[in-house]
Every structure is written in C-alpha cells, then in structure tokens.
Amino acid sequence: MKVSVQSDDFDLSTEVIDISMNTRTGAVASFVGVVRDIPMTLEHYPGMTENAIKKIVEEARTRWQVLDYAVIHRYGDLQPGDQIVLVAIASSHRADAFAACQFIMDYLKTQAPFWKKEHHPEGARWVNALEADDEAAARWKSLKQPQRLVQK
C-alpha cells in the first residue's frame, strides 16, 4: 500500500516482493516507464500529486481485486534510460492485476499533476498533453459499472 513521489530511483524487484507477501497473491502485474531519447525535467505539485495518485488507486480498487500495490513516480531531472514511473499490482487473479495496473497508468498520464519539460538539442520545451492519453483514460469510463474481466 505504497504511493511515493520522489526524486530517487527505485528497484522493481524490491517493490514487487514488498507487495507479494499476502498468501492470496497469485499474480503481480507491473509497469515501468522509461525515458526514451530526450533528457527531461519532471515538475510536480507536492501534496496534490500524492493525493491525486491515491484517488486513482482507490478508484481502481473499487473495480478490481487489488491485494496490495506500489505506485512510485519520480520528479526532477531524468536522463534517457532512467526509470520514471512504477505501478505494481498484486492480486489473486491475473486479469485483475493487469486491468488495475493499466487503468492506473492511463489515469496517471491524464490526472496526476506532473509536467514534462524536454531538453532538446535546439532548446527546452514543455510537452503538450496528448489526445491519445485522454482517449486511453476515457475508454475506462465506458465500463458503466465496476466489473471483473475473465479471470483465473
């Protein structure tokens, strides 16, 4: 049950092991976002950002079985290849773990207060919000009520 907004790097295995202690855990889905080819600076809104992430996680927990979770988002200066974000979900069932993980990532992209400045060779520029991300988040709204996918 961990939400952290931090400048420090993180270790995926450590986080996954931490959330896998429950004996009902059979499935852990996780996601790591990585900086591609452009160095960037990530700005956040201390306090609000953590709260927004917690709300996203609570929304996911009303929809799917989540036994434990870790969400870590970094801020500050990041270089190509650096880890940016981690979402890890432990569940009894893999369909729940995957769905909750993907849901949280889609919402993180559109709801959590982070702003990305890319440092291109020709100068720095703030990244504009992408419609594709809004669409990815919006498709969850068409699920009219909390539902579980086919699962095992």
Partner 1 sequence: MKVKVLLFANLRERIGQSVEVVDIPDSASTVAGLRIHLMQRGGAWQEILSDMKVVRVAVNHDMAAANAPLNPGDEVAFFPPVTGG
Question: Binding residues for its own copies, per CB under 8 A?
Answer: 11-14, 16, 20-21, 23-37, 80-81, 92, 94-95, 97-98, 101-102, 105, 109, 130, 132-133, 135-136, 139, 150-152
User: What pairing do the DSSP bridges indicate for beta strands 2-6 and 68-74?
Assistant: parallel
Which one of its own copies, partner 1, none is in contact with 122 (Cβ closer than 5 to 8 A by kind)? none
Which one of its own copies, partner 1, none is in contact with 115 (Cβ closer than 5 to 8 A by kind)? partner 1
Q: Count the Cβ atoms, other than its own, within 10 Å of residue 36.
A: 9
CA distances from residue 69 to 45, 57, 122, 126, 132 in whole angstroms, order as listed: 22, 9, 40, 31, 26
Q: What is the dihedral of CA 34, 112, 2, 68, to 10 degrees?
A: -90
Contact call for residue 110 and partner 1 (CB under 8 A): yes
Residues interacting with partner 1, by CB under 8 A?
33, 42-43, 45, 47-48, 51-52, 73, 84-85, 105, 108-117, 126-130
